[in-house]
Amino acid sequence: MKISRSSSPENFSTTKTRKNIELFEDYVEAINEINFNKGFVKNVDLCKYFGVSNATVCKNIKRLIKEELVESEKYRSIFLTKAGKILAEKSNTRHEVLYKFLTKLGVPIRIAEIDSEGMEHHVSKETLNIMKKFNNSN
């Protein structure tokens, strides 16, 4: 079997680090979007958004609070902190750059929407900057 470029401890380490923040990015993006659309965010909103149980949302909200990305009190709305808002904006921007890049390559819109959601968490700043330049040049 041929060994690929991704088969190195350094590459796995980078991917693992990016996966650790993936959940945080997904949640702050969702909280930001729901808040924009509804004006407030409750656990039930996140349950519906992600298709998960309240227990899962509660566990993840606790992690986000610990990381100082959100603030919440029992039976109250969930709010992004300043750091949470910054992370949501960065994640949303990466998502949009990737989406535009994929559609410019000819990827169908629905597939670009799905693929950009997964890719946004793993793309490097360097690659993203090149994609931005490509998007702006065409």
pLDDT tens string 73-96: 777 899 999 999 999 999 999 999
Is 19 among the domain residues? Answer: yes
Is 32 among the domain residues? Answer: yes
What does the pLDDT read at residue 122? 83
Report the chain's mean pLDDT, rounded to a whole number.
Answer: 88
- Give CA–CA dist 107/102, Å, rounded: 5
Give me the residue label for tokens 């693992």.
16
CATH code for the domain of 89? 1.10.10.10
What does the pLDDT read at residue 78? 96
> Taking 90 as the threshold, does the pLDDT of residue 52 lie above it?
yes
- Residue 47's domain comprises 13-137
Is 42 among the domain residues? Answer: yes
Total count of domains within the chain: 1
Which stretches of the chain are assigned E, i.e. beta strand? Answer: 70-72, 78-80
Is 40 among the domain residues? Answer: yes
